[in-house]
Structure 1
Amino acid sequence: MGKVVVIKAVFQRIPRVPVVVLLGIVGIALLAGCESPAERAAGYLAKADQFYKDENLVKAELEVRNALQIEPKNADARLLLAQIAESRQDYSEMATQLRAAIESRPDFLEARLKLGTLYVLGGAMGLAEDQYAITADLAPDDPDVKVLRARILASQGDLEAAGTELNAALEQDPGNTQALGLLASVVAVDDPDAAIELVNKGIVSTDDTSPLQLLKIQLLQRAGRNGEVVDEYHSLISEFPDRDVYSYQLARFLVGLGRKDEVEAVVQDLIKNRPDDNQAKLALVQFVSGIKGAVQAEALLQDYVDAAPDEHTLRLALAAVLQSTGEEDRAISEYKTIANAAGNEDEALTAKGRLAAIRLAQGDEEAGEALIEEVLAIDSLNTQALLLRGALNSNREKFGAAVSDLRTLLRKDAENVRAQFLLAQTHARAGDTLLAKDAYLRVIEMSPDNGVAPIELARLLVREKELEQAEEVLKTRLGLAPGDITASRSLIALLITRERYADAENEAARLASIPEAQAMGEYLRGSIFQVRNQHSRALSAFSIALDLEPNTREPLQGMVASLIRLERVDEAVVKLEAVIKQFPDNLYAQTLLSQVLAGAGDITAAKDLIESTLSSNEEWLPAYTTLAGMQGSDVDAQINIYKRGLEAMPASQELALLLGTAYEHEGKYEEAIAAYEKVLAVDADLLAVRNNLAALLADFRTDGRSLERALELAEGLEDTGNPVFVDTLGWVHYRLGNFKVAIPFLEDAVDQAGQVPVLRYHLGMAYLADGRSILAEEQLALAMADVDLDYTGRSEAQSALRELRSR
């Protein structure tokens, strides 16, 4: 015999043994007219058991936990909680509850058998053996004990001994479906047909045939007898018409076979038998969407809504489809219809929540917030509304309020990954580093597939100089997702920062060993060699990357840079010309070639080439920056190029900054101010432009209106954490005479980037205005330390320092 393949799903579908609650009647309690604690607990447990049989797991858990409030060590209650956890496939919780049941009642055979089975399925064979030994002492002749022994033997590869145990169990209990199912799995290793025949005999002699029919389906699938699989599913659907799951399983199986035309009929039959089953209708819509597209799915949903206009669940689904296909106005209309018609029902709250999300995305915070508050006024624990309000408050820097909402949500729904992730980000933005770290770790625990949380946590740890911890986070992520390029690049950057070049090379080589990531891995190897001035080795790695993906930018740029460093300019030109010939639309390669030609002195050819890229695409930003760089010291020519670029791309922050800087270099501050204002009129959210404009207004204008405009621009920039932006806000407050308000911002900027003299100058002037002469002198002296460095305000700093020293 070969190794057995145990079909786990079958054993999970075996009917659970119901909890039998014996209600003892105590005469004294009856005479007293009240129930004892044991009776009250038994009452809750009886309700829980019925809810469990009805597959209402939420209410079942609520009732069983009520029982445990009265009797915390009630073993039957713990067993029922384990069964509920099993139904949810939460096997960790299942094991916890089974162990609690056994602790309360050490001779609890059923709990020990379940725990032993769980250990076998989890591969914990030593623990499974322990449970078997105890159950064998408790009930050596029990057929289920023999089944547990057989599971252990089968998992250890001793199929013959397992078969002996199972046959013995079936002699005692011919209807034992667990024994029969496991025996069929053992037999199927060598003789699938015999296993199927064995299951057929069991089906004939068993009352509830569904577990064995499902086992038969799996055996037929393994044997490739797909036609019989379909027939068996149809038999199940006919015999158990109330079990929708069989129709859905058949539909998925047919999709897997490519028999998609038959799927719609299966689901349509389900809808025909249950015309009021909205979930079946939505399942069909989902199928149609996947097979025929969103337009057909939308049409089908519209038909359902037209036929039953008061079915809000269907209308909600229609609105969601409309939203996903970009028909936002129609989606809003449908959501409004639901919100108006459904009163305080869940569907109305969901519709209002989605409307709120739309309004917030549109920038209408007032309307969005009003809808959120409407929902929370009815349901203060509404998950969607709490999440939206938490996000809104976080964006507004009302971190305390955001944290409060998110923690409230998580108390209700502890596994809500979005809320936990937003909580982590909020703590990080608020500067609560320890809380942020814990929250990020919780996100990673809850959602191991989340690729963003580890990166954000690693960046946070790097900022805190906790480099070893950051490295460990990234390595853990790569252990789960070896091909995660972002995590790999982050790890390599961290290793290079720590000058661990060999480790960085090993990581790049590891990434390159993954076929789909090979090109990126080779590029990263080349980059590491380049950092170490090993340009010949870098060229080899870049060449491999380009052979794999010849039209990618990064390895091409890396190769050209190394060729230039090795003074092999002609080879760089030849390589770029070859790429351009192969990919005529590659503007990046053309721009690189123009830069190489300009560096080699052929300015005319370089300009002609870069102009040709602009003929292809007038919004090709690198062309303007490259062309400006070719103008040498002719600032007026550079200004004209930047203005030309802004005509094509009026909201380009890069060109706006370059134009403003060029004007400032020429002392044309009013022109720079006008240029910045013009760009902000197109896009007011360009933060760097806002900062530079605020700084210019603070430095070169003194009227109140201009300084108030500077404050309007600078407020909120401190949220970015950029010390230059923080300094601008502080300097604007200084210029407005708000010295005490200014100083904390300016101190923060200096703490982060004290090597920048102008920041020291600003802080020194604020200290001087606030009467802190000693601190002012210290900062101004540092601002003047580099005699060769000029900046706006240097002469004022020098005069102030001279005056302080003359006192």
Structure 2
Amino acid sequence: MMVRTGILSGARMFAAVLAALVLLTACDSAEERAEEHFQSGMAFVEAGDIDRALIEFRNVFKLNGNHKEARLTYARIERERGNIPASFGQFLRLIEQDPDNLEGRRALAEMALETGNWEELERHGAAAAELAPDDLEIQALNNSLAYSQSIKSGNIAASRLVVQKSRDLIQADPGLMNARRTLIDYLVRSRDWDDALDEIDAALALDPNTSGLYAVRLSILQELNRPSDVEAQLLQMTQLFPGDEGVKQLLMQHYIDHEDLDAAERFLRKEAATASEDFMPVQRLTVFLDQYRGSAVAISELDKVIAQGGPSTERMRAMRAVLKFRAGDTDTAITEMRALLKDAERSITTREIEVEFARLLFQAGKPDEARALVEAMLVEDPTQVDALKFKAAWLIEEDQTGDAIVLLRNALGQAPRDPQLMTLMAQAHERNGDRALMGEMLALAVEISLNAAPESLRYAQYLITEGNQTVAERVLIDALRLSPQNRELLAALGELYLQTQDWPRLDSVIRTISSLDDSNAVAMANQLKSKMLSAQERTGDLTEFLTQLADDPEFEVSAELALVRSELAQGEVKSALDRLDELLEASPDSLPLRFVKAHTMNIDGNPDEAETLYRAILGDHPDAVAVWAALRELKVEQGDMDAAQSVLDDALAKLPKDLNLLMMQASEYERTGQLDNAIDVYEKLYAIDSRALVVANNLASLLTTHRTDDESLERAYALARRLKNTRVAAYQDTYGWVAYRLGNYEDALRYLKSAADALPQEPLVFYHLAKTYVALERIDDALVAYQTALDVSGSAESPTKLTTELKSEIERLSAEPEVSQ
């Protein structure tokens, strides 16, 4: 027995040793192969073949995730390519392996500063300072953080100390760009334009490729009203950054703002004439001609280019088809595109034209053909950036945000400085409920676009919804320095000042808009002034202002209607009717005047006459949604719900895809308990416009309160993800209830408690809160929430399904032997 046991033990020991040796050999082999891939990657780096180098480094990580040299090199390359998100992620993995890696900490702090991620800057800046307390660059990074904190807190004394520290750092090392940026920002905020220009010029002398400083310099020159210097700098930037389309767009906008279309055309023609194989200059010229000289002139220009032949002829033919499409000749455009692509050689150019064709097909109501074309392209070339954008956009609309983010990351690897990609990534993060990441992407889009108006507007709107009006104001002002006559930017800034009740600045914006040579702008200014006077409760001044406008033929009707609304708000119904009758004598067929009169007649206690006028208007204007809605509301006020539904049915028969009418239909189904029908209508609404938060919220709410199947729950979660971190109480209730249904009770409690505090009269919210307390075994709290729900749910004389369940749950929990504390 002993011998036999010994033999068996020896055999087992031999097998174990052999297995260990095999495993060790495998480990050695994996590490050796990882090192081979690393060396191969470094060879590609030396040869300038970065794409193949990155592939080799990714192979390293598959075999050895702890290879620090590969990780560090990969992170450096991505940062140099401008792919900040990818670089940041790689440096994060590096410091997870090696927390004391100074280069990693410094790089993370620098990128956090670049993207405005103050939390990460504080984390990595502090760690870097511990590793190298005497490092001036790290001191400058932490000084930038201190400056930001002093600005946010409004601590002027602290700001001055920080700025002095910046001056000291610059004195010690003139090359510290972060210290210079802090000083420049302070000077700009102080409106010390001359000193700011001197500091910017000193910084650019050290690093002439710092594009962000050029944007600040441009804004200062705009403030100083030096248009010739602005033009000179923009022309200089076109030489320094020849591949930056944003700079050329800024130059064009400068010429347009100063009504110098001839100068713009001369610049574009010069560019087009000197271009050999690059089609972009011709495209810019064509777009300009189309917008400012007319589509016929633009198409004629393309005809000349196409007749000359050349390597870009196919692109020009595609562009001509696009112009015809925009001019309304849809069939000809699509026919020409099909002919151009038929039997075309498979190439980069062909795929770019196919993307353009896909856009036309999508706009022409052929989405399936457009998608099929894009999918086929991506099979052939998975790196085609415009195709990736196209597909990512529809994936976002379909709530497939994970897949969209993967595609966009791929695209960013090819084009890391594309503002449109940043914007799409922001939209994907928004749908995913990652609002912090959304903000980072929007901020990057603003930076990369050099404060372009569309990107700045989007970021400012995000900041306002986050309650950060101070930064939103700065973003809008920075954009306006480059585009001082942009109506959308001015209107957004005006609305922000209206919201914050900053009357002097709002008055300044109104005067700026009024000075624009544009009737639409003047109307916008008048509207803002009316809102300001109303918000200030300056009734007399408002009436006087509207009366003055009513005497201006250009604004007569709109001003008179505003006066009518003002009179109605003050209860002067007879005066309003008299004014409307006078106006209708001059313009008896005016839709706005007739509509407001019908509304006023109803207020005056004449609903039958109002209904007659509403129906007469609809006879002339069956597509007037507001009139249908007003007529339906009149019937609701009369308590005739059958007639109200009949009005809505008639309206939907005329306008079956109108969002407002469909929302009314869904609400009516909810009111009458036809919840499956309500869900169907909300699904239809969501298919029409998946960006509407209220539709996503209502649909998710119904799916989780009315249905219990897993498929509905998954659908509700996909819809509700974007409501994460919301401050809207109704949305908090929806997200919290979805979280409860998924078993995330702590997360559910946070949202539902907040919703209950904000909606004290909504029994369903307290019911959801009570269910969550039960799941968390907080029975006392659950009883309180159930009782509150019962108290606010209405009379027990006509019990509903909810009140019956509330009473049952209260009795059940009260009867338990021990109540949790």
Partner residue of 1:796 out of 790, 805, 813: 805
Cα shift at 1:591: 1.5
What corresponds to 2:350 in structure 1? 348
Shifted more, 528-537 versus 358-367: the winner is: 358-367
Distance 2:470 2:285 in 1: 51
Asked if structure 1 preserves the Cα contact closer than 8 Å seen for 2:770 and 2:786, the reply is: yes
Contact 2:682 2:699 in 1 (8 A): no
Taking structure 1 as the reference length, the TM-score comes to 0.55
Distance apart, 1:600 and its partner CA? 1.9
Paired position in structure 2 for 1:241 = none
Alignment of 1:485-634 (within 5 A): 485-501=487-503, 503-514=505-516, 516=518, 517-548=521-552, 555-556=559-560, 558-631=562-635, 632-634=638-640
- Relative distance call for 1:501 and 1:320 in structure 2 (3 A) is closer
Contact 1:322 1:330 in 2 (8 A): yes
Aligned ranges for residues 382-781 of structure 1 at < 5 Å? 382-397=384-399, 399=401, 402-403=404-405, 405-406=407-408, 409-410=411-412, 412-448=414-450, 450-501=452-503, 503-514=505-516, 516=518, 517-548=521-552, 555-556=559-560, 558-631=562-635, 632-662=638-668, 665=671, 668-670=672-674, 674=677, 677=680, 684-685=687-688, 715-716=718-719, 718-719=721-722, 724=730, 739-740=742-743, 748=751, 751=754, 754-756=757-759, 757=762, 758-765=764-771, 768=774, 773=779, 776-777=782-783, 779-781=785-787
Provide the rounded CA distance (Å) in 1 between the counterparts of 2:425 and 2:293. 38
**Counterpart-to-counterpart distance in 2, 1:765 and 1:690:** 23
Closer/same/farther in 2, CA of residues 588 and 681 from structure 1, 3 Å limit: same
State the secondary structure of the residue aligned to 2:743.
helix
Q: Distance in 2 between matches of 1:599 and 1:310?
A: 66
What are the superposed Cα offsets for residues 64-102 of structure 1, whole Å, 9 maximum, x if unpaired? x9xxxxxxxxxxxxxxxxxxxxxxxxxxxxxxxxxxxxx
Report deviation, 1:696: 6.0
Q: In structure 2, give the amino acid aligned to 1:454.
A: S
Q: Counterparts of 1:503 and 1:300 in 2: how far apart (Å)?
A: 47
Cα displacement string for residues 494-547 of structure 1 (whole angstroms, at most 9, x for unaligned residues): 444444455544544554454533332232222222223321112223334444
CA 1:630–1:324 in structure 2 vs 1: closer, same or farther (change >3 Å)? closer
Cα distance in 2 for residues equivalent to 1:306 and 1:126: 46
The answer as to whether partners of 2:451 and 2:478 remain within 8 angstroms in 1 is no
The 8 Å contact of residues 444 and 450 in structure 1, kept in 2 or not, is answered as yes
- 2:59 matched residue in structure 1: none
Structure-to-structure mapping, 1:62-101, within 5 angstroms: none
Q: What pairs with 1:304-383 in structure 2 (closer than 5 Å)?
A: 312-326=314-328, 331-332=333-334, 334-335=336-337, 338-339=340-341, 341-358=343-360, 371-372=373-374, 374-376=376-378, 379=381, 381-383=383-385
Q: Go from structure 1 to structure 2 and tell me whether the alpha carbon gap of 1:412 and 1:682 turns closer, same or farther (over 3 Å shift).
A: closer
Separation of aligned partners in 1, 2:460 and 2:386: 29
Provide the C-alpha distance between the structure 1 equivalents of 2:331 and 2:342, rounded to a whole number of angstroms: 17
Partner of 2:252: none
- Per-residue deviation at 1:773? 4.2
Contact between 1:523 and 1:555, CA under 8 Å: does it hold in 2?
no
Deviation at 1:594, TM superposition (A): 1.7
Distance verdict in 2 for CA 1:449–1:575, change over 3 Å: farther
Amino acid at match of 1:804: L
Q: Is the 8 A contact 1:780 1:801 kept in 2?
A: yes
Whole-Å separation in 2 of the counterparts to 1:357 and 1:456: 23
1:74-473 pair list within 5 angstroms: 248=269, 293-294=295-296, 297=299, 301=303, 312-326=314-328, 331-332=333-334, 334-335=336-337, 338-339=340-341, 341-358=343-360, 371-372=373-374, 374-376=376-378, 379=381, 381-397=383-399, 399=401, 402-403=404-405, 405-406=407-408, 409-410=411-412, 412-448=414-450, 450-473=452-475
Q: Secondary structure at the match of 2:688?
A: coil
Q: What runs of 5+ residues in structure 1 fail to find an aligned partner?
A: 1-39, 42-64, 66-102, 104-121, 132-244, 253-266
Task: Return the alpha-carbon distance in structure 1 between the equivalents of residues 327 and 369 of structure 2.
Answer: 23
Do the aligned residues in 2 keep the contact of 1:376 with 1:382 (CA within 8 Å)? yes
Relative to structure 1, the CA distance from residue 589 to residue 393 in structure 2 (aligned partners, 3 Å threshold; closer, same or farther) is same
- CA shift at 1:573, angstroms? 2.1
Q: Which amino acid aligns with 1:391?
A: A
TM-fit CA distance, 1:617:
0.7
Alignment: residue pair count: 549
The letter for the 1-side match of 2:470 is E
RMSD: 5.4
**TM-aligned CA distance change 1:368 to 1:560, over 3 Å:** same
Does 1 or 2 have the higher relative contact order (CA < 8 Å, sep 6+)? Answer: 2
Question: Tell me, what secondary structure is at the counterpart of 1:651?
Answer: coil
Q: Report deviation, 1:483.
A: 4.5
What TM-score does the superposition give when structure 2 sets the normalisation length? 0.54
Distance 1:416 1:684, change over 3 A: closer
Aligned-partner residue type, residue 644 of structure 1: D
Write the letter of the residue equivalent to 1:568.
Answer: E
Structure 1, 771-780 or 631-640: larger mean CA deviation: 771-780
Aligned counterparts of 1:605 and 1:801: Cα–Cα separation in 2: 52
8 Å contact from structure 1 (residues 718, 725) kept in 2: no
- Cα separation, 1, equivalents of 2:491 and 2:783: 45
Contact 1:673 1:697 in 2 (8 A): no
Residues 756, 769 of structure 2: 8 Å contact kept: no
Q: 1:567 to 1:788 in 2, by over 3 A?
A: same
Contact kept? 1:519, 1:548, Cα under 8 Å: no
Structure 2 gaps, min length 5: 1-45, 48-79, 81-174, 176-195, 206-265, 817-821
- Distance in 2 between residues matched to 1:282 and 1:519, nearest whole Å: 34
> Quick check: 711-720 or 577-586, which moved more?
711-720
Secondary structure of the 1:601 match is coil
Q: Distance in 2 between matches of 1:440 and 1:793?
A: 44
8 Å CA contact retained: 1:590, 1:609: yes
